[in-house]
Structures are given as C-alpha cells and as structure tokens.
Amino acid sequence: MTDPKIVYVDNGIANRFKDGTIEINRNLLQYPKLKEQIITHELNHTKLDKLNKKDFDHDLTITDQIDNKLLFKFMIKHPSALTQFLPLYYSSTRGWVIDANESIKWIVIISIIGLGFLIF
Ligand SMILES: [Zn+2]
C-alpha cells in the first residue's frame, strides 16, 4: 500500500477524499494512538466514490475501531472536531463539502423525530 497523502486541517476529525487524500485535524498530532486508529479507519473505507452500504457500515462500527474515551477527551478539548458530525461543512482547502453518510444519519434522525410527532 502506498502512503496516503495526509493534510492537517483545523476542523472535524478526519475525512478521506476521492483522490485518496486524508484530511485530519492537526490537534490529533497530540494523540498519536488515536490518530493511528483514525487513519486506519479511513484507509479501510472502500475507494468507491458513491455512497454504499459497506462504507456506511464501516462508519457505524467506528466505536469498535477506535479508543472512544480518547476520542471523547479529544472532542472536549478541541470542540472544532465537532464539525465532523455536520452533513455539510466548509473546508479551507476544498470549499463546501457534503458528507453523504452524515447526511443520511441526519435524515434518519429527523425522520424518526418527525414520525414521533405524527404518532404522539
Ligand atoms: Zn469513516
């Protein structure tokens, strides 16, 4: 496997792009163990461009792949990491980016809440 191209950014946790580049929060440099786990996670995504079940499942099981306590600590200390969970965010290197997986999660959450209102 060739070394991935890693770009350090100020927001979010990590994202992999079509061209193979991984953008990762520079504050993770202070958490080498967590950083390795996150890069491994990103590398294990498929190279498929479109949304697919395999990548979606891979994200759903992320809690088994990384040290959650450490991630929690990291997010408390660096709240800029929370932009990771937005369906749409602004990247200084890429402009506006839509995160398809996050979008689906939000659609599911909003649908469940909406359904709750309809029923009760
Ligand atoms: Zn992922």
pTM: 0.77
Q: What's the gap in Å between 118 CA and the centre of ligand 1?
A: 33
Ligand 1 center to 114 CA (angstroms): 27
Percent above pLDDT 90 for the chain: 36
Q: Which residue has the higher pLDDT, 27 or 82?
A: 27
Model pLDDT for residues 87-103, shown as the tens digit of each residue: 888 887 888 988 877 77
**Total number of residues shown for the chain:** 120
Ligand 1: centre distance to CA 36 (Å):
14
Q: What is the pLDDT of residue 2?
A: 58
Q: Judge whether residue 1 has pLDDT over 70.
A: no
- How far does residue 32's CA lie from ligand 1's centre (Å)? 18
Q: Do 14 and 24 contact (CB within 8 A), yes or no? A: yes
Mean pLDDT of the chain: 87
User: 53-79 pLDDT, tens per residue?
Assistant: 898 888 888 888 999 999 999 999 999
Query: What's the chain's Rg over C-alpha atoms?
Result: 15
Find all residues with CB under 8 Å of 92, minimum gap 6, and list them.
9, 10
